Structure 1
Amino acid sequence: MSEAAPRIETLHEAGRTLVRLAGRVTVADLPEIERAFARLGGPVAVDLAGVERMDTAGAHVLVRLRARLEAEGQALEIRGAPAAVESVIATVAAAEPAPERAAPARRGLVDRVADVGARMTGAGRFGAELLAMFGLILARLVRTIWRPRDFRMTALVHHCEAVGWQAVPIVALMAFLIGVVLAFQGATQLRQFGAEVFVVDLIAISILRELGVLLTSIIVAGRTASAFTAAIGSMKMREEIDAMRTLGLDPAVMLFVPRVLALLLMLPILAVVANAAGLVGGGVMAWVVLDISPPMFATRLVEGTGVANYVIGLVKAPFFALIIGVVGCHAGMRVGGNAESLGRQTSAAVVTAIFAVIVADAVFSVLFAEIGI
C-alpha cells in the first residue's frame, strides 16, 4: 500500500499555532511543506502523530524551523511523533553544524588594557619557550661533546651542505648586487662634494661591518628556518619523533644539535662569501662610474678600512646562527597534527627569525658604539 501524500492542517489554540502533519514527509514533498512553514511565526506546535514516513530531508525542514523560531525568541513543540520519526529528527539535529557566534564587540579602556596584557603574556611565554629550547640544545651539545659517540657526523655534513653550500649562489648574488647599489648611490651623492674616493670607505664599512652578515642572516633565516620547521614539523605530524623516543633516541641530539651546529659552522663562511662578493660588486661599479681602478680600490680598501670592521661583522654570525636554529627547531616542535598548522608555523618561524636577527643586530650596534669599537 502506497504512502499518502502529505496533509498539512494549521489551527490556532491557546495563543500558539498548531500544525498537524500527516502522510509522508520526504524530499519529494519539501516545496509544499516549506511554503507552509515559511508563513509560521510565534510559538508553534507541530503534531506528527499522523506521519507515516519521514526521511532526513523532512527532518531537516523541522530542525531549520526550530532554529528560526529560537532565533526569533520563540519555541517549537513537537508532539506525538512515532519512535522512528523521532529518531530521524534527533539524528538530523545532532548532525547539524553548530552556528558560529560572533564574539561580542568589546569596548572600554579595561578591555583594551586586558588585550595588551594578554598579548604581552603570550609574548613572554613564547620567549620563555625559546629560552627553554636554547637551554635544551645547549645541554645536548655539551653532552655530545662529552660523549661524541652519540653524535651523527653524517647528519652534520648533510645539513652543512643544505645550509651552506646550497646557499652560496643566492648569498653571493645578493651581496654582489648590494655592493653595486651602494657604489652607485654613494658615487651619486659624493660626486657633489668632490669626494668620490670615499665611496670605497662607504662600501667597505657598510658591507664588512653590517650589511654582509645581516643580509646573509636574513636570507638564511628565510630559507633555513622554514626548512627546519617543515622537516621537524612533518616528522612530528607523522609521529616519527614519538617513534624515536620509543626507540630510546633523543630527538634533540638527533634533530636539533646537527642543524644548529651546521648553522654555527656555515653562517660565518657565508658571511665571508657575502663580504667578498659585496666588495667585488662595489669595486666593479666604482670602476664603471667613478673610474676607480681595481688596484686603486684595493689600496684604498686596505688603507682606509680597519680589521676591526671585518671582525665585528664576523662576531655577529654565530649569534645569528643560534637565533635562526633555535627559532626553526622550536617552531617545528609546535606543529600540530594537520597541514594548516605546519604552514602557519613555517611562516611564523621565518618572521620570528628575521625579526630576532634584526633586533640582535641593533643590540650589537648599540653595544659596539658604547664601548667605542
Structure 2
Amino acid sequence: MGGPRPDSGPAVLVDTGGEARLSGDWTLRALSAVLPRLRRELAAASAAARWDFGAVERLDSFGAILLWHAWGRKWPETAGLAQAQRRVVERVAASAGRLLPGSVRFGPVDAIVLLGGALLDFRDHALGFVALFGRILLDLFHLARHPREWPLLEVSANMHKVGVKAMPVTALVGFLIGVVLSYLSALQLKIFGADIFIVNILGLGVIRELGPVLVSVLVAGRSGSAMTAQLGVMRVTEEIDALAAMGISRTLRLVLPKVLALTLAMPLLVLWTSAVALFGGWVSAWVELDLSLGFFVETLPAVVPIANLYIGLAKGAVFGFLIALIACHFGLRVRPNTESLSMNTTASVVSAITMVILADAVFAIATRSIGVPA
C-alpha cells in the first residue's frame, strides 16, 4: 500500500490482515469537512486490534477524542503512536470522564445529601431572619431613648408607596373576588331557599379570612418584591457599604422604615379591600337575589360579630410585618450580581406568601372559638 499524498485528507483504511491504517491531518480544521464520513470509517474499523499511525501528519485533541471513543474508551492491543501523539491521546483518556460525562444515577445517598443541604440553607435563613429581627428591636430601643432620630420621613414615604399606591389594585381585585364569591354562593343558596345567608357567607369569609390573605398575597407580590429589589440594587451598587462607611445604620434607615410602614399600612389596606369586596358581593347578590343594600347593611353587623373585624385587622398587621421583614432579609442577602438579585427577589415573594399562609393557619387555630356564631 502506497503512502498518502501530503495534501490528502484524513482517512481510515482496514487491510485484509485486520490492521487499521490512519493517514492525513487529524486536526479540528481538517476533520470538520469530512467528519460524517470519518465517523463511519472509524465505526467500521473499531474492532481492529492494531492501529498504524505512521502516515498521520498531525494529531490534536479533537482527533484524539474521536479515536478514543472509537476504541470504546480503552487502548487497543497495538497502537503505533509516536511519542508526541501518545501524549495527546493520554491527556484525552485522562479527561474523558470530564469531557463526556456519563449518566449519573440518583440514589438514596444523593437524596440525603439534598435534604441535608436544604436543611442547612433553611437554618442559615432562619438565623439571618432572627438576627435581622433582633437588630430591629435594638433600633427600636435606641429610638425610644433618642426620639429625635425617628426616620419619620422614610416611614411616611414607604407608607405612601406600599399603602396609598396599592389601593387601586387591591380595590379592583377585592371587588371582583366579592362578585365571584357572592355569585357562586347565590347559585347554591337559591336551591335551598336560603338567600339571606349570603350575608353570613360574605361577611365571615371576607372580613375574617379572604380579605387579609388576599391583600397579603397582592402586597407580597407588589411591595415585597419592590423592597427586595431596592435593597438588592443598593447592594449591587455598593450604596449599603457606603452607608456603613459613613457610620449610618442600614437597619435604622432602610429596614425599619419599610417594616413599620407595611405593618401600619396593612390593616388599613385590609379594611379598605374588605369593604370593597363586600360591596362587590352585595352588587352580585342584588343582581342574583334582589337583595337590597339596606337589608345587607343592617344584617351584616348582626350575623358577623365585631371580633371578626379585630381578627382581620390583627392578621393584616402581622402579615405586613412578616412580608416586610422577609423582603428586607432577602434584599440584604443579594450578592453583587444580577443573577443573585433575580433569585432573591423570587425567593422573597415565594417565602412571604408561604409564611402568610402558615401564619393564617396559626391564626385560624388560635381564634377558632372567637367571633364565630354558634
Give SS of 2:60's match. helix
CA deviation map 1:160-182 (0-9, x unaligned): 22211111011111111222222
Contact 1:233–1:333 (CA<8 Å) still a contact in 2? yes
After superposing the two structures, state which structure 1 stretch, 143-152 or 201-210, moved more. 143-152
Instruction: Output the aligned Cα RMSD.
Output: 4.0
Distance change >3 Å, CA 80–CA 98, structure 1 → 2: closer
- Name 1:211's counterpart in structure 2: 210
| Structure 2 counterpart of 1:161, one-letter code | H
- Name 1:249's counterpart in structure 2: 248
Aligned length: 355
What is the CA–CA distance in structure 2 between the aligned matches of 1:237 and 1:48, rounded to whole Å? 59
TM-score, with length taken from structure 1: 0.77
Distance change >3 Å, CA 247–CA 368, structure 1 → 2: same
TM-score, with length taken from structure 2: 0.77
What is the CA–CA distance in structure 2 between the aligned matches of 1:44 and 1:258, rounded to whole Å? 78
Contact 2:68–2:74 (CA<8 Å) still a contact in 1? no
Distance change >3 Å, CA 371–CA 290, structure 1 → 2: closer
Identity of matched residues, %: 33
| Structure 2 counterpart of 1:169, one-letter code | P
Structure 1 spans left out of the alignment, 5+ residues? none
- Name 1:126's counterpart in structure 2: 125
Structure 1 residues 20-169: aligned runs within 5 Å: 27=29, 31=33, 35=38, 59-62=60-63, 64-65=65-66, 68=69, 72-74=73-75, 79=82, 81=84, 99=100, 102-107=103-108, 112=111, 115-169=114-168
CA deviation map 1:106-140 (0-9, x unaligned): 15xx6655654554444344333322332233333
| Structure 1 counterpart of 2:358, one-letter code | V
- Name 2:3's counterpart in structure 1: none
Structure 1 residues 344-363: aligned runs within 5 Å: 344-363=343-362
CA deviation map 1:264-283 (0-9, x unaligned): 12111111111210121122
Residue 347 (structure 1) shift: 1.6
Residue 231 (structure 1) shift: 1.6
What is the CA–CA distance in structure 2 between the aligned matches of 1:257 and 1:77, rounded to whole Å? 75
- Name 2:182's counterpart in structure 1: 183
| Structure 1 counterpart of 2:186, one-letter code | A
Contact 1:46–1:79 (CA<8 Å) still a contact in 2? no
Contact 2:10–2:30 (CA<8 Å) still a contact in 1? no
What is the CA–CA distance in structure 2 between the aligned matches of 1:293 and 1:9, rounded to whole Å? 92
What is the CA–CA distance in structure 1 between the aligned matches of 2:317 and 2:80, rounded to whole Å? 71
| Structure 2 counterpart of 1:27, one-letter code | R
Residue 77 (structure 1) shift: 9.6
Distance change >3 Å, CA 371–CA 180, structure 1 → 2: closer
Distance change >3 Å, CA 32–CA 286, structure 1 → 2: closer
